[in-house]
Amino acid sequence: MNRIENLRKIALDRVNIKDELLYKFCKSYGKSEDAMDYRKYAEAFDFAFSTLTPNIYDGELIVGEIINGLNASEKEEWETVYKPIAENRFRRIMVGQDSHMAIDYELLLSKGVRGIVAQIDEYMKTCRREQLDFYSAARTCLLAVIKHSENYSALAERLAEQESDETRKEELLKIAEICKKVPAEPAESFYEAVQSVHFVTYCVSIDPVSIYHQQFQLGHPDRYLYPYYKNDIEKGVLTKERAQLLLDCLGIQINMRVPNGLSSGYMVGGRDENGKLVENELTEMLMQVVDDIRLVYPAVGLCYTEGMPDSYLKKACEILSHGRSHPAIFNDDVISKGLQGYGVSESESHNYIHSTCVEITPCASSNVWVASEYTNMVQLLLDTMTREYDSFEDHYAALFERIDEDIKRNFEVQNGYRKRRAENNINPLLSCFVNDCLERGTDVEKGGARYNWIMPSYVGMANLVDSLYALKKVVYDDKKYTVCQLKEILDKNFEGNEPLRLYLLNDLPKYGNDLDEIDRYFEKFTSHIISECRKYTAIHSAGNIIPSVFCWEMHERFGKKTGATPDGRLAGFPLGDGSGPCQGRELNGPTASILSSTKWKHYELIGGVAVNMKFAKSMLGDNSLSIMQSLIKTYIERGGFEIQINVTDKEILEKARENPEQYRDLVVRIGGYSDYFTRLSPQMQAEVILRTEHTI
């Protein structure tokens, strides 16, 4: 049996359905749609998790995934009675963000769930009366997780009794043994640690109030798993090959847990809380998972830092050269500097996660709302093109006023959402694994987390820069058109003016070609946005509205709604895919593109910076990997935040577009996250194909 191949096929076809959990929770909680009550929540959570159907696929070694275990009558009752209640309840909290974080895995592995229950018991002895309900609910939820794990243990024992294959029978009995122990107790072996990490992540991911699936990250497993790995290897009870298999199974479970179109994974490398380089066997093995399972997850980030041996970057580039979309390369020194600039201690600044795509949140301490919300930057420019201005400088100033108004409005909206969530929602289980919720006796939804920042993201920056330069050229320098005349042409999508469109698109300089005259605008915009965001303070926070310039898939969503733009882009086409140049516009090679993308400060944009590069797979030669490494190092040395690389061929992408069934597992990098190419919209597929394909 090819275990990994069979499991990856299940993951490719799997559809995550939370109906059983939601049904059981709602049936126990009742029909009230008022703000969540801790006592009723805890009782409903306990009932749902205690009775939730466990599932173990053939060949699994790491277990814990939700399935729809409702019978026919329960399905009907869910659809007709309780689903409307769940949807109405969810509407009260369907604002802001969640799960863009990593929980406290060190606490979980060292204490176990029962150890955390014991901590809560101590807090309850001296807490204020109003904190008792929170602590009691948290305690009940933790014990419910243990019951759910014990149900997995019982299922594994039943399956073992029915199993004729002795090898699989032994595996099932081992699963039963481990699920009976962890996550209830501290992990003592590598296998136990991996199972405990997955199981609790799976449990916090299936929030019974949220209809949607969540995408928690696994932090830095080459740090917290390494002591268990090292100990088991030294004792002779674990081989490297067995450990790799367990990590591969963990990677597949991320795909079982998180639907595609989102992002979930972990980071490796970087520095620990003492500033020491993290470099061990697990660092490479956790990257190898990407190559072994060849699925959209895990989204792996290599935290590259000064002094890191070249072998780790080489390993990452080798995996990328196989056509994988991960690892992405993050600049650990730049990110740590940025976090410290926003008040994070030096030791904690090394413990962060790319919360889904490239948004940085501190591990174990975060209720940060990333990408809240996205702003269409080129639309702001179009909004200013409704009248004439005395000069380009006046028009430029009007654009900055429009940006400032948008920042202020977005802040007010998001802060209002924070208050709404705090008034209507609770999450006692998650609160147990987020500093400083238990210490404060305060739910994560009500301000208990150490960090409660808001991170707005500014999309289409390259389009804005290119469009502003084009506007300056044809309206203010050459005076070929007035502002309103050009806007009228744009409103008609260049109909009857194709020569003008081609001139704007092909003849004017573009961001990404190491041309200071245009690249400088990117720096001006980012510096202004950073400065303006610092004026605002988020609820539950000591300040910190932290901007980003990545897009997830919003460049397509915004592009669909955005008319033609002065850079020659047609109406409806996706905007630029991140912080680098727009699709197909870097004409002077990858080095020039990198130089343009690093002429502005990245470290204050902790909300996320994503620079995409695409290399032709068919043109890779003997020296290509070393050239790729050199380009990445240049980007890092110049202060680049994150770079992500696609190694593929236009021909393959075209074939996948024509015959999607033959390329179901073809993964490509989008705007900070990865997705299956054949599941993208036609517009997004065209955008990916159009990206400049460099040869190295």
Quick one: what percent of the chain has pLDDT higher than 90?
83
Q: Work out the average pLDDT over 449-478.
A: 97
SS3 530: helix
The beta strand positions in 107-236, using DSSP E, are none
Q: At what angle do helices 310-321 and 281-293 cross, to 10 degrees?
A: 0
**Per-residue pLDDT, 614:** 84
**Model confidence over 618-635: pLDDT tens digits?**
777 878 899 999 999 999
Other Cβ atoms less than 10 A from the Cβ of 264: the count is 26
Q: How wide is the angle at C-alpha 325 spanned by C-alphas 619 and 355, nearest 5°?
A: 150
**Model confidence over 543-593: pLDDT tens digits?**
789 999 999 889 999 999 999 999 999 999 999 988 999 988 988 989 999
Element containing residue 250 per DSSP (H, E) = helix 240-257
**Model confidence over 668-688: pLDDT tens digits?**
877 778 888 898 888 889 888
Asked if residue 695 has pLDDT above 80, the reply is no
Asked if residue 64 has pLDDT above 80, the reply is yes
**Model confidence over 111-166: pLDDT tens digits?**
999 999 999 999 999 999 999 999 999 999 999 999 999 999 999 999 999 999 99
The rounded distance, in Å, linking the Cα atoms of 512 and 514 is: 6
The beta strand positions in 389-453, using DSSP E, are none
Q: Work out the average pLDDT over 332-355.
A: 97
Entry pTM: 0.94
Q: How far is CA 158 from CA 14, 53, 122, 174, 625, in A?
A: 24, 14, 38, 13, 50
**Model confidence over 209-238: pLDDT tens digits?**
998 889 999 999 999 999 999 999 999 999
Of the pLDDT bands very low, low, confident and very high (cuts 50, 70, 90), residue 696 is: low
Of the pLDDT bands very low, low, confident and very high (cuts 50, 70, 90), residue 90 is: confident
**Model confidence over 636-671: pLDDT tens digits?**
999 999 999 988 888 888 899 989 988 888 888 777
SS3 329: strand
Q: What is the mean pLDDT of the chain?
A: 94
SS3 451: strand
SS3 131: helix
Of residues 32 and 258, more confidently modeled:
258
Q: What would the two tokens of residue 642 be?
A: 């994150």
Of the pLDDT bands very low, low, confident and very high (cuts 50, 70, 90), residue 443 is: very high
Of the pLDDT bands very low, low, confident and very high (cuts 50, 70, 90), residue 301 is: very high
**Per-residue pLDDT, 213:** 82
Q: What would the two tokens of residue 678 be?
A: 């054949």
